[in-house]
A and B are shown apart, each in its own frame.
Chain A
C-alpha cells in the first residue's frame, strides 16, 4: 500500500534538528521542549505505523512521486516498523532523562546536544525505512556524523575517542559505499527489492562476492562486531553519559539491522549462507566476540567501560543469531535488538545517575550507601542485570532461549555452549557490582564528604535526584519484565511475519 507515513518520522526529526538551533538563538530553554515533542511524535507515528503495517501489510512511499527503481522508495514492513518503534521509544526515554543530567554532563552545550540527537535519530529512522541502497548510505553518514558529535562533546578524552571512531566509521562507510558500487555495476539498480530480483540471474559473479564482503566489512565496523570493535569501548566510556545512553542502545543495533536487511533481504539467504557462506564467518566472529567482550567486561574497573565491553559481547548475540541463518536464530537476533536496547539503555542511564550523584562511576567506589542514595536506580540496575544474565522472566532469558534453540537446530553445540557460558560470565561481572551495592559497608566517613555532588540530594526523602532522572530508568528497566512475559506475542505478531525466504 502506498502511504506517506513511512517518510514522516525522518522528516520530523530533520525539521526538529534544523529548527532547534534557530529557535534557541533567543532562548536556550526551548530546545528541550522541541526535542521532547519531536521524540514523542516519533513514538506516536511509529506506533501507528506498526499497527497499520500489521493490519494492512507493508507500506511504501515514493519520494517525489518517482517510481522505483528510478526513484527513492521508503518501505515499512513488520521488521522495519518494529526496529523503528524500538529506536524511537528508547530514544524518548533517554531524551526525557537528558533534561536532568545535561547540566552536569555537558554544561552549556544543551542546544548542540539536542540538535545532534535529533539529527542522529533522523539518520537512524532514515536507515530503517529506506528501500534504497544509496539513500541508506546518505542516512548512514548523517547518523554517523551526528554520532561523532554526540561523543565528542564529552570529557577531555572524548574528542580523541570520537576522532578514532570517526576514522573507523568513515572507513566502514566507505567500504559500504564501495560495496553498493559493485552491486550497482552488476545489477544496474540501487533499489533493494529490485536488486533482490536481479541477483539470482547473475550467479557466480565475483563482483557480487566483492560487494558482499565490502558491505559486511563496512557494517561490521559500524556494528562493532569482533574484531572490528576497537572504537567502541573508548567512545562509550568518554562520551557524556547522556550521549552514551543514546548511542549504546541505538547505534550498533542500526548497523545490525542493516546487516540483516541487506544479507537476508537483498542478497538472499541462499546466497549468503550457502553459495558464499559469509554467515558462518559472522557466527564464528560473534561467538569469539561474546566470550572476548564478557571477559574484558569482567576486567574493567569503570562501570561505563564495563558496559561498553558488555555491548561488544551483546552485539555478538545479534551477530550469532544472524550467523545461524535459520528462523530461530533470526528470531533471537531481532528480539535481542529490542532486548539489548532496553537493557543497555537502562544500564547506561543508571551509570549516568550514578555519576550525577557521586561524581564518578568507578566500580571500586561502589558501596551500600548507594542503595540508600539511589534506591530506584539500583533496583532498575538489578532488573537489567538479571536480564543481561538471562534469568526468567526477564527479556534477556528469551533471547538466549531462541538463540539456543537455533544453535541446536543447526547442531552447533559450540555456539550453544558459548551462549550459555556467556550468561555465567555476565553473572560474574554484574554480581560483582550488585554485591558491592547491596552488601559492602561504606568506608568510615571522616566527617567531610570528598564528593560535593554527593550532598545535593541528601535532604530528599527518596535519595534520588529528581523524578525525571528516576522515572525513565525505572520504566525502561521494569518493562524488561513485560517484554519477557509478552515476548511470544512480539515473536508471533511481528518477527515471524517476515522470516526471510529460504531459511
Chain B
C-alpha cells in the first residue's frame, strides 16, 4: 500500500460550511417560500459538487486536509477528505439533493408549519454530517457529532404534538448521554495516546494497556457512537424519533444521523483502536455479538409494527448492525461489505421512507393494515418500494445483495460461520416483514376506494431515482461514485495493505 499523500485544500472546509452559510439565508427568506427552497437546493447542489471534487484525489491516495486552528492546546480543529470521509460525504450530500426536492413536495403537500425552522435545521444537520465525515481527529468528530445532536432536535419535535415532544426528550436523553460518554472516551484517549488524530490501523501506537482499561475505554466509545448507530439496547430513540416529518426520517434517521453513528463505529474500530488491539483484547468478538443480536432482534421486532415508519425504523436498526458486524469481523471483505452497506442501505431505506411519506401526504395513511390495494393507485411509488424491499432482503440484482455477499464472504475470511448464519436468517426475516406490505399493496382489494393517485412529481421523481440508483449500484457497485473502490481503499488502509 502506498502511503497516502496529504495536501492542503480548503475544499473540505467549503463543503462543510456551504450549508451553514445557507442557514441564515434561509432564515432571512422566511416570508418567501420559493426563495427559501432555492437556498436549500442551491446549497445541496454546491455541497455535493464540492464533495465530488474530492473524489478523484481520494481514489488516487491524495488526501485533502484543512486545519482551522487549535481549539485546545495541541489539538486542532481539522478536516481531511480521506477515502472513508469522501465515501460517507458523497452519500449524505448526494441524497440531500433528492431529499430537498422531496421535502419541498412534502411540506407543500401537507402545508406544514414552521418550514423556515425546518429547512434551516436541515441545513445545519448536513453541515454537521459532512463535518463528521471529514473530521481528521476525535475532538473535531465530537464537535460535529454534538452539533448534529442539537441540530436534529428541532426536526424531531417539528410537529410539536405531545408525541413529538416526548420523542424529542427521549432523543435528547439518549444522544446527550452518548455525547458525554464520547467526550470522556476522547479525553481518556488523549491522556493515553497523546494524540487524537485518526490513523488507519489505530492511533495508540505502542501505548500499553491493562485489559480492564481498554475494555472500559471501548465501552465508553461504544456507548458514545452506539446510540446514534442504534445498537441494541441503545436503539429505542430511533423508533420514537419517527414522530418527525418523513423527509427527516428518510435522510437523517436512515442516512445522516444513524450513519454518523456507524461511521463512528468504523472510525473507532479501524482508526482509533485498530485491528490488532481489537483482536488482542477480544473486543471484536464482543462487538460482533452485540451486532448479531441486534440484527436478529430488530428484525423480529419489525414484524410487530403496524405503523409503516416504525417497521422501517426497526429494519434500520437491524441493517445498521450489518455495518457494525462488518467492522467487528475485521476481514478485508467484511469491511468492504460493511462500508458498501452504508451506501446501499442508504439508497434503499431512503426510497422506502420516501414511499411512506408519499403515501402519507396523498392518502394520510400511516398503518400497514390500511394499505390494501394502494399499489394500484400508486404504481410508481409501490414499485419503488418493492424494488428497495427486495434489496434489503438481499436478493440480487439490487445493491443490498452486493453488501450482504461481501459480508458473508468476510465472515468466512474471518473463519466464522455464525455471522453468516445471522445474515442468512436476517435476509429471510427481512423478506418476511416486507412481503406482507407488498402483498397488501398489490393483491388485496381496497376496502374504501382511493380518491387520489400518485403524490406530486416533486416526491415521486426522487423516490424513483433512489430506487433506480439502488438497482444500478447492484449491477455495478463501482458506478459513477466508485463506492466499491473507495471501500476497498478504506478496508486496505485499516488492515495495512492486506488488499484482496
Contact check, B176 vs A386: say whether CB atoms are below 8 A apart: no
Complex alpha-carbon distance, A421 and B173, angstroms: 12
Complex alpha-carbon distance, A472 and B323, angstroms: 49
Contact check, B184 vs A420: say whether CB atoms are below 8 A apart: yes
Question: With A404-B183, A404-B187, A420-B183 as given contacts, are A392 and B72 in contact (CB-CB < 8 Å)?
Answer: no
Which of A386, A392, A405, A439 is close to B157, meaning CB atoms less than 8 Å apart? A439
Output the residue of B69, B169, B179, B190 with the most chain A CB within 10 A: B179
Q: How many Å from the CB of A425 to the closest CB on chain B?
A: 11
Residues 185-236 of A at the B interface (beta carbon under 8 Å):
none
Contact check, B72 vs A488: say whether CB atoms are below 8 A apart: yes
Output the residue of B69, B72, B77, B160 with the most chain A CB within 10 A: B72
CB of B146 within 8 Å of the partner chain: yes
Q: How many Å from the CB of A87 to the closest CB on chain B?
A: 25
Complex alpha-carbon distance, A431 and B160, angstroms: 15
Complex alpha-carbon distance, A435 and B173, angstroms: 14
Residues of A close to B77: CB separation below 8 A: 485
Residues 286-330 of B at the A interface (beta carbon under 8 Å):
none
Contact check, B160 vs A408: say whether CB atoms are below 8 A apart: no
CB of B188 within 8 Å of the partner chain: yes
Residues of A close to B160: CB separation below 8 A: 439
Contact check, A416 vs B172: say whether CB atoms are below 8 A apart: no
Contact check, A389 vs B176: say whether CB atoms are below 8 A apart: yes
Of A97-105, A159-167, A279-287, A393-401, the one with at least 4 CB within 8 A of chain B: A393-401
CB of B421 within 8 Å of the partner chain: no
Contact check, A393 vs B191: say whether CB atoms are below 8 A apart: no
Residues 452-493 of A at the B interface (beta carbon under 8 Å):
485-489, 491-492
Which of A393, A401, A409 is close to B183, meaning CB atoms less than 8 Å apart? A401
Contact check, B183 vs A491: say whether CB atoms are below 8 A apart: no
Q: How many Å from the CB of A395 to the closest CB on chain B?
A: 11
Complex alpha-carbon distance, A427 and B70, angstroms: 27
Question: With A424-B180, A487-B72 as given contacts, are A408 and B150 in contact (CB-CB < 8 Å)?
Answer: no
Residues of B close to A421: CB separation below 8 A: 180
Residues of A close to B179: CB separation below 8 A: 391
Residues of A close to B435: CB separation below 8 A: none
Residues of A close to B149: CB separation below 8 A: 391
B189 to A, closest residue via Cβ: A408
Q: How many Å from the CB of B348 to the closest CB on chain A?
A: 33
CB of B465 within 8 Å of the partner chain: no
CB of A47 within 8 Å of the partner chain: no
Q: How many Å from the CB of B204 to the closest CB on chain A?
A: 15
Contact check, A400 vs B183: say whether CB atoms are below 8 A apart: yes
Contact check, A408 vs B146: say whether CB atoms are below 8 A apart: no
Contact check, A392 vs B142: say whether CB atoms are below 8 A apart: yes
Question: With A391-B146, A392-B147, A420-B183 as given contacts, are A401 and B188 in contact (CB-CB < 8 Å)?
Answer: no
Chain B residues touching A, majority SS:
helix
Contact check, B72 vs A408: say whether CB atoms are below 8 A apart: no
Contact check, B176 vs A392: say whether CB atoms are below 8 A apart: no
Count of B interface residues, CB-CB < 8 Å: 30
Complex alpha-carbon distance, A129 and B229, angstroms: 52
Which of A424, A491, A492 is close to B176, meaning CB atoms less than 8 Å apart? A424
Q: How many Å from the CB of B169 to the closest CB on chain A?
A: 8
Contact check, B176 vs A427: say whether CB atoms are below 8 A apart: yes
CB of B265 within 8 Å of the partner chain: no
Complex alpha-carbon distance, A483 and B72, angstroms: 12
Contact check, A393 vs B143: say whether CB atoms are below 8 A apart: yes
CB of A339 within 8 Å of the partner chain: no
Contact check, B72 vs A398: say whether CB atoms are below 8 A apart: yes
Q: How many Å from the CB of B210 to the closest CB on chain A?
A: 12
CB of B177 within 8 Å of the partner chain: yes
Residues of A close to B449: CB separation below 8 A: none
Question: With A427-B172, A439-B160, A487-B72 as given contacts, are A408 and B180 in contact (CB-CB < 8 Å)?
Answer: no
Residues of A close to B190: CB separation below 8 A: 405
Residues 406-432 of A at the B interface (beta carbon under 8 Å):
408-409, 416, 420-421, 423-424, 427, 431
CB of B73 within 8 Å of the partner chain: yes
Contact check, A488 vs B71: say whether CB atoms are below 8 A apart: yes
Complex alpha-carbon distance, A408 and B217, angstroms: 12
- 23 A-B pairs in the complex with CB atoms less than 8 angstroms apart: A391-B146, A391-B147, A398-B71, A398-B72, A401-B183, A402-B72, A404-B183, A404-B187, A405-B187, A408-B191, A416-B184, A416-B187, A420-B180, A423-B176, A423-B180, A435-B165, A435-B168, A439-B160, A485-B77, A488-B73, A489-B70, A492-B73, A496-B73
Residue ranges of A at the interface with B (Cβ–Cβ < 8 Å): 386, 389, 391-393, 397-398, 400-402, 404-405, 408-409, 416, 420-421, 423-424, 427, 431, 435, 439, 485-489, 491-492, 496
Residue ranges of B at the interface with A (Cβ–Cβ < 8 Å): 69-73, 77, 142-143, 146-147, 149-150, 157, 160, 165, 168-169, 172-173, 176-177, 179-181, 183-184, 187-188, 190-191
Knowing that A408-B187, A492-B73 are A-B contacts, what are 4 other residue pairs whose CB atoms are under 8 Å apart, sorted by A's residue number? A486-B69, A487-B72, A488-B69, A488-B73
